[in-house]
Amino acid sequence: MSLIEGEKEHILACVKEVLGENTKTRENLIPLLQQVQHKLGYLPSLAMEKIAEGVNVPTVDIYGLATFYNQFRMNPPGKHQVKVCLGTACYMVGGDITLESFERRMEIKEGETSPDRLFSLERVACVGCCTLAPVVVVDDKVEGKVTPTRVDGIMLALNEENGKAAAEQKPDQSEGDDNGHS
Amino acid sequence: MSEHVNITIDDREIKVRPGEKLLWAALENDIYIPHLCAIKEESRPNASCRLCFVEIDGIDYPVAACTRQVEEGMVVKTRSTKVDRLVKTAFELLLSDHNLKCSECPANRNCALQRIAKERGLKLKHNRFKPIGREFELDDSPAEFAFDRSRCVLCGQCIWADRVGAEAWIFGFANRGIDRVVTTFNNLPLAELKCNECTLCVDACPVGALYYKREQKV
Ligand code: SF4
Ligand code: SF4
Ligand code: FES
Ligand code: FES
């Protein structure tokens, strides 16, 4: 995923800060990665490289660790985060088909973020409302019985919202869509 | 400490170096035990391939020979019903994630999987477990060799060669469970990394995953 303007400096500063505050040992790698991800929202390649350098372990080992645990993500969270449930109940009624529909509509694979960073797509296991299966969580809002037709509806709504937001907002790269979502 | 330890493997009495792992004691005395992941110099073996099981007198379950140190008076059997079952299952599971086309493979006739099959009378066929058929991109970026992950048995021999032999630190494991792979940082092609093509990893690969292009069949 290519970095956006100013992001490189932000990543470097953030990794530097985390490395400065922690013991730089192999045993401490997971907390280091967690803290960096907490600050950046994901683990960009550049951050993994800098952590590897700082702790003096091969970069491929950082990559191995980050890909082993589900809690780490290598792609930035999209403006809209869609999580498709593939827990047993949802899977049984076609959660995988729902996921595929999103993949097609967003033109990305599960675990990825669209190049414009508008959408990211993930899979989750049981959201806790199996009676609504197949379940999808869109920006923390639970959507039930999401068939491929519903996927179209959800995408339409999201795109409309983006269109409005783009029209209202002059090109301004400030943060602010990260907090306060309902 | 005495200079050697006496053990018995398959009714043969042998003298071995104290502290030696059972697997290497057997192999050095021409007693075959299947193995893929063991590395002699490694003090803490991965013991991940689960192929080197043996029975030891006094222990009522099979033991991985690559992890067990020899002890004076140890009596070992390389075969038993339990051992054979475990090895067969481990082998079949490996094959279920293996692109099994020996006639097209650069390692054909010089392959650790073929050897295990031959020694233990196992079939090199997909049978009980249906093939997973993971798809991988071939990395043929180096000039002399290529990496076809569809034949990788995840033994880790190349990682050891790359780290201890070449000190390049390029290869490692990534992902989890059935998605486990041997790969590079961000899955980058080898030519984009600090690989100087020393080919130690190719020589270490016991199957046809890392191979010389000149030996390529198709
Ligand atoms: S690695 Fe061995 S078993 Fe696999 S295809 Fe090649 S020769 Fe056959
Ligand atoms: S590439 Fe070869 S040596 Fe490396 S892990 Fe795979 S099978 Fe083993
Ligand atoms: S399995 Fe999807 S909500 Fe329970
Ligand atoms: S050689 Fe013992 S587990 Fe692989």
pLDDT digits (tens, 9 = 90+) for A23-66: 999 999 999 999 999 999 999 999 999 999 999 999 999 999 99
**What does the pLDDT read at residue A147?**
95
Ligand located closest to A124 CA: 3
- Do B76 and B143 share a domain, yes or no? no
Query: Is residue B50 classed as helix, strand or coil in its secondary structure?
Result: coil
Backbone angles phi, psi at B138, to 5 degrees: -70, 135
**What does the pLDDT read at residue B30?**
97
Euclidean distance between CA atoms B46 and B50, whole angstroms: 10
Instruction: Output the six-digit token pair for A176.
Output: 């602010």
Euclidean distance between CA atoms A149 and A143, whole angstroms: 13
In which residue are the tokens 């082998």 written?
B91
Mean pLDDT of B8-29: 97
Asked if B28 contacts B46 with a C-beta cutoff of 8 angstroms, the reply is no
Q: Is residue B179 situated within a structural domain? A: yes
Instruction: Output the six-digit token pair for A159.
Output: 């795109």
Ligand located closest to B123 CA: 1
Q: Which residues of A touch B172 (CB under 8 A)?
A: 58, 60-61, 63-64
Please, which pLDDT band fits residue A168 given cuts at 50, 70 and 90? confident
CATH code of the domain covering residue B111: 3.30.70.20
Is the model's pLDDT at B162 over the cut of 90? yes
- Maximal C-alpha separation, chain A: 51
Q: Is residue B218 situated within a structural domain? A: no
Mean pLDDT of B22-42: 97
Q: Which residues of B touch A50 (CB under 8 A)?
A: none
Domain A80-168 adopts which CATH fold? Answer: Glutaredoxin (3.40.30)
Q: Give CA separation, B35 vs B67, B108, B200, B202, in Å.
A: 12, 18, 20, 18
- Do B201 and B155 share a domain, yes or no? yes
Please, which pLDDT band fits residue A169 given cuts at 50, 70 and 90? low
Looking at the structure of chain B, the number of domains it has is: 2
Q: Which residues of A touch B184 (CB under 8 A)?
A: 60
Burial class (CB in 10 A: 0-12, 13-18, 19+), B215: middle
Mean pLDDT of B177-202: 96
Strands (E), B28-121: 53-56, 63-64, 75-77
- C-alpha A105: how far from chain center: 17
Euclidean distance between CA atoms B97 and B131, whole angstroms: 6
Is the model's pLDDT at A149 over the cut of 50? yes
Is the model's pLDDT at A177 over the cut of 70? no
Final residue of a structural domain among B24, B55, B90: B90
What is the domain range of residue B173?
A: 96-212
Report the predicted TM-score, pTM, of the whole model to 2 decimal places. Answer: 0.87
**What does the pLDDT read at residue A5?**
85
- Do B105 and B204 share a domain, yes or no? yes
- Do B208 and B107 share a domain, yes or no? yes
- Contact at CB, A48 and B170, closer than 8 angstroms: no
A7-68 belongs to CATH 1.10.10: yes
Euclidean distance between CA atoms B166 and B197, whole angstroms: 10
Final residue of a structural domain among B62, B90, B118: B90
Q: Give B62→chain A minimum CA distance, Å.
A: 29
**What does the pLDDT read at residue A176?**
46
Mean pLDDT of A148-152: 95
Please, which pLDDT band fits residue A2 given cuts at 50, 70 and 90? confident
Final residue of a structural domain among B42, B62, B90: B90
Q: Which of residues 52-91 of A touch B (CB under 8 A)?
A: 58-64, 67-69
Element (H, E) at A119: strand A119-124
**What does the pLDDT read at residue A163?**
85
Q: How far is the CA of B149 from the centre of ligand 4 (A)?
A: 20
Instruction: Output the six-digit token pair for B12.
Output: 């043969």
Average pLDDT, chain A: 91
pLDDT digits (tens, 9 = 90+) for B86-130: 999 999 999 999 999 999 999 999 999 999 999 999 999 998 999
- Do B132 and B197 share a domain, yes or no? yes
**What does the pLDDT read at residue A162?**
87
**What does the pLDDT read at residue A182?**
42
Atom of ligand 1 nearest to the CA of B110: 7
Is residue B98 within 6 Å of ligand 1 at its C-beta?
A: yes
Looking at residue A179, the DSSP 8-state letter turns out to be S
**What does the pLDDT read at residue B1?**
57
Euclidean distance between CA atoms B176 and B52, whole angstroms: 23
**What does the pLDDT read at residue A171?**
53
Nearest to B169 among A45, A58, A69 (CB): A58
Q: Give CA separation, B193 vs A65, A112, B187, B196, B213, in Å.
A: 19, 24, 10, 9, 19
Q: Give CA separation, A112 vs A75, A82, A106, A150, B16, in Å.
A: 6, 11, 10, 21, 54
pLDDT digits (tens, 9 = 90+) for A67-116: 999 899 999 999 999 999 999 999 999 999 999 999 999 999 999 999 99
Instruction: Provide the percentage of residues in chain B whose pLDDT is more than 90.
Output: 97
Cite the residue boundaries of each domain of chain A with CATH code 1.10.10.
7-68
Q: Is residue B24 situated within a structural domain? A: yes
